[in-house]
Amino acid sequence: MTDFTPWQSLFGGALIGFAAVLLMAFNGRIAGMTGILSGLIPPLAADWPWRAAFPAGAIVAPFVYMAVGGSFSFDAPVSPAALIVGGFLVGIGVHFGGGCPSGHGICGIGRLSPRSFAAVATFMAAAFVTVFVIRHLIGA
Amino acid sequence: MTMQKVVSAFLIGGLFGLGIAISGMIDPAKVLNFFDIAGTWDPSLAFVMAGGLAVALPGYRLVFGRRRGPVLEPSFSLPTRNSIDRELVGGAALFGIGWGVAGFCPGASIPALGLGYWQVPVFVAAVVAGIIVARALKARLASHKTA
């Protein structure tokens, strides 16, 4: 069980949306985590410095949040094999699908891209089916 | 100029990570429970999307409405493809399966990378491996098409 956190999630989501708008306004870029990271996987993109700075800021942020008294839960209830297989599929899928929940879900739908609507509907549906199969049919 | 872009990206990345932490999406258990309607359902992820879009939709309109481009770049870098093809749908489907199997997605895992949980670097390494393999596959497919 995890607690339903409507207000915190709404507020956190708004911050993510605000970050997406600011990155477009200042750096002229889509705030999709995989799009940004792709340029850091060799061959290194010419504009790698800002691409490295964005995830670096994101890694520091939880510590800032904890330092001001914030807290969050963390539990990864999956096996090492699931992390490796799942991560590998995410990597392949994100490359062919052209984005992840931050890129397609917030930025893409945020600018009303039909491709992003299709991608989000597809990966959401696939994730619902996958979790249903794993938890209720296989019973893991 | 590069320095300004780096500082800007760092601070905005910080805001993004803060949003991931506060929204609870940093916790894979919460993400997996969103997809488990038949079990321990936690609708929080839908509220994250709603909050994000409530800001991004009007925010982007405002940004793109400016006559000048972005503050630190000569122009906006936007995706140019607009076809909904098999590659997009197939890729997104694989992504969704992986998301449901692992409970992590890239945007939620990166902010958790420094917290000391071994699961996070394992997942991120697997994503990187997947991207490298996908690049090779794509190059191969492209050379088949032209051959």
Q: Which residue has the tokens 């994100």?
A: A94
Lowest mean pLDDT among A4-8, A45-49, A66-70, A135-139: A135-139
Nearest CA-CA distance, residue A68 and chain B, Å:
12
Q: Does A48 touch chain B (CB under 8 A)?
A: no
- Burial grade of B69 (CB within 10 A; 0-12, 13-18, 19 or more): middle
DSSP of A45-113: PTTHHHHHHHHHHHHHHHHHHHHTT--------S-HHHHHHHHHHHHHHHHHHT--IIIIIIIIHHTT-
Nearest CB to B130 within list A92, A122, A128:
A92
Residue B15, CA distances (Å) to A38, A73, A88, A118, A133 in order: 20, 19, 27, 27, 35
The pLDDT assigned to B89 comes to 96
Angstrom distance (rounded) from CA B77 to CA B71: 13
End-to-end CA, chain A: 15
pLDDT of B147 reads 57
Which residue of chain B comes nearest to A46, CA vs CA? B2
> What's the Rg (C-alpha) of chain A?
17
**pLDDT at residue A23, as a whole number:** 97
Which B residues, 62 through 81, put their C-beta within 8 Å of a C-beta on chain A? Answer: 62-64, 66, 69-73, 75-79, 81
pLDDT at B101: 97
Q: Judge whether B98 and A86 are in contact, CB under 8 Å.
A: yes
Phi-psi region of A28 (alpha: psi -120 to 50; beta: other; left: phi over 0): left
pLDDT at residue number B146: 66
Reference B5, options A113, A117, A28; nearest CA is: A28
Residue-level pLDDT at B144 = 78
In a 13 Å sphere around the CA of A10, the CA atoms on its Cβ side amount to 5
pLDDT tens profile A72-129: 999 999 999 999 999 999 999 999 998 889 989 999 999 999 999 999 999 999 999 9
As averages over each run of 10 residues, the pLDDT of chain B (147 residues) reads 93 98 97 95 96 97 89 91 90 97 96 96 97 93 75
The residue in chain A having the minimum alpha-carbon distance to the alpha carbon of residue B48 is A13
> Cβ of A24 and B72 within 8 Å?
no
Tokens at residue B107, please?
């945007």
DSSP A137: I
Over residues A7-24, the pLDDT tens digits come to 999 999 999 999 999 999
Q: Which of A45, A65, A53, A48 lies closest to A23, judged by CA?
A: A53
Distance from CA of A67 to the nearest CA of B (A): 12
Give ipTM to 2 decimals. Answer: 0.96
What does the pLDDT read at residue B67?
Answer: 72
Q: How many angstroms separate the CA atoms of B97 and A82, rounded?
A: 11
Q: Give the up-direction half-sphere exposure of residue A61: CA atoms within 13 A in the CB hemisphere.
A: 34
Q: What are the C-alpha distances in Å from B70 to residues A37, B11, B33, B67, B79?
A: 21, 16, 38, 10, 16
pLDDT single digits (tens) B45-67: 999 999 999 999 999 999 999 77
Closest CA to B99 of A100, A129, A94, A90: A90
Mean pLDDT of the region A52-57: 98
